[in-house]
Amino acid sequence: DIVMTQSPDSLSVSLGERATINCESSQSLLYRPNNKNYLAWYQQKTGQPPKLLINWASTRESGVPDRFSGSGSGTHFTLTISSLQAEDVAVYYCQQYYTVPVTFGQGTRLEIK
């Protein structure tokens, strides 16, 4: 199985500041024939199911604010929130879909400082 490791486990950021969450995979998620990275990011607020934010490592889902961005390739990926808003408090997960079984990172809890 591909192991997904996120860092940090928790993060406190002031409103309006940048938040950065890292995700590392145990093997490359880059599929050379189409040059795409098979990685998604989700946001999970308390008591809710996860919400898809980004796929293909950097493609925002429709309706996701543009303060959310994804980057990275191969085995190292980053989710960045450019200017933290109060409603962004949540746990964030990365997920690889390069192969079955699909696996998730352990999650990063984002709080307001």
Partner 1 sequence: QVQLQESGPGLVKPSQTLSLTCTVSGGSISSGSYYWTWIRQPAGKGLDWIGRISTDGRTDYKPSLKSRVTLSVDTSKNQFFLELSSVTAADTAVYYCARDNVYCTGGSCYPRWFDPWGQGTLVTVSS
Strands 108-112 and 10-13: parallel
Of 16 and 100, CB closest to partner 1: 100
Of 16 and 62, CB closest to partner 1: 62
Of 83 and 99, CB closest to partner 1: 99
Cβ neighbors of 101 (< 8 A, separation 6 or more) are 1
In the stretch 13-52, what mask flags binding to partner 1 with x, by CB under 8 A? ---------------------------x-x-----xxxxx
CB 52, min distance to partner 1, A: 4
Of 48 and 113, CB closest to partner 1: 48
Spatial distance between the Cα atoms of 98 and 27, rounded to a whole number of angstroms: 10
Among 19, 37, 95, 110, binds partner 1 (CB under 8 A): 95
Q: Cβ(108)–Cβ(44) under 8 Å?
A: no
**What residues line the site for partner 1 (CB under 8 A)?**
1, 40, 42, 48-52, 55, 61, 93, 95, 97, 99-107
